[in-house]
Every structure is written in structure tokens, then in C-alpha cells.
């Protein structure tokens, strides 16, 4: 299940990056990026909730991700209210950059969870005597 979770996130992230790279100034690509961003965010938020409440592998690091995600969503709710009027470029940055940083951080955590590495720190660990 962990590998399927990782691959689904990876495919969505690659699709978003490809759309932006191929059509950098196309409004349809920007809309596609926001749709994929939303889908990845919901996917990762639900996956993180399941991992945190199920106390699965990487529980502590995924708890930190969940807390950061909740802080970010609270910040977005505060900024999107009518009390703030921010420059348009700042809105683009706030709505995309932290979201993708959180997405790639969780993708990294999912990779580490799906493909645990061998025991680290031993010299010539492939050769056992």
C-alpha cells in the first residue's frame, strides 16, 4: 500500500511539473497545476491522517507534516478573508510555493516509508562474514 501511495503521488507531481514545463504561460496549464495541487494536497492530508492516527511507520515525521499542513491551511484561510488585500504576486507565491514544498516533503517521507534502505553505517554491508 505504501508503494502505491508513493507512486500515485509521484505520477501527479510529474504530471503537474510536465504541464508547467511544456506550457509555461498557458492559463489552462496554470489551472491544471492548481487542480493537481488540490488533489495531491487532499491525498496527502488524508494519507497523513491515516498514518498519524494508525501510528504507522514514520509516525513522528508525518505528525510534524500534519501540523505544518494545518498551520498552512490556517494561514490560507486568514489571507483569503476580506480583511487582507495583498499584491497579486504575493497571493500566487503563498498559494503555490509552500503547498509544493509540503507536497515534496511528504513525497520524500512516502519514499522513505515505501523503500526503507538497508542498515546504514556498516562498512561493506553487502558482504557478511
Which pLDDT tens digits describe the chain residue by residue (129 residues)?
788 888 999 999 998 888 888 888 888 888 888 888 899 999 999 988 888 888 877 888 888 999 999 999 998 888 877 777 778 788 788 888 999 999 999 999 989 888 887 555 566 666 655
Instruction: Give the range of the structural domain holding residue 88, as residue numbers without chain letter.
Output: 2-114
Q: Is residue 119 part of a domain?
A: no
Q: Does the residue 77 lie in any domain? A: yes
Kindly state whether residue 128 falls inside one of the protein's structural domains. no
CA torsion through residues 76, 79, 82, 83, sign: positive
Residue 121 belongs to a domain: no
Predicted confidence at residue 82, as pLDDT, reads 72
Amino acid at each position: 500500500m505504501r508503494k502505491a501511495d508513493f507512486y500515485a503521488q509521484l505520477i501527479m507531481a510529474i504530471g503537474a511539473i510536465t504541464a508547467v514545463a511544456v506550457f509555461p504561460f498557458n492559463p489552462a496549464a496554470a489551472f491544471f497545476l492548481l487542480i493537481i495541487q488540490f488533489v495531491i494536497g487532499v491525498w496527502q492530508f488524508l494519507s497523513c491522517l491515516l498514518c498519524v492516527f494508525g501510528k504507522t511507520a514514520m509516525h513522528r515525521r508525518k505528525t510534524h507534516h500534519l501540523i505544518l499542513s494545518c498551520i498552512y491551511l490556517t494561514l490560507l484561510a486568514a489571507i483569503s478573508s476580506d480583511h487582507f488585500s495583498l499584491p497579486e504576486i504575493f497571493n500566487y507565491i503563498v498559494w503555490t510555493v509552500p503547498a509544493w514544498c509540503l507536497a515534496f516533503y511528504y513525497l520524500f517521507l512516502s519514499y522513505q516509508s515505501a523503500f526503507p534502505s538497508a542498515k546504514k553505517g556498516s562498512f561493506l554491508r553487502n558482504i557478511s562474514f
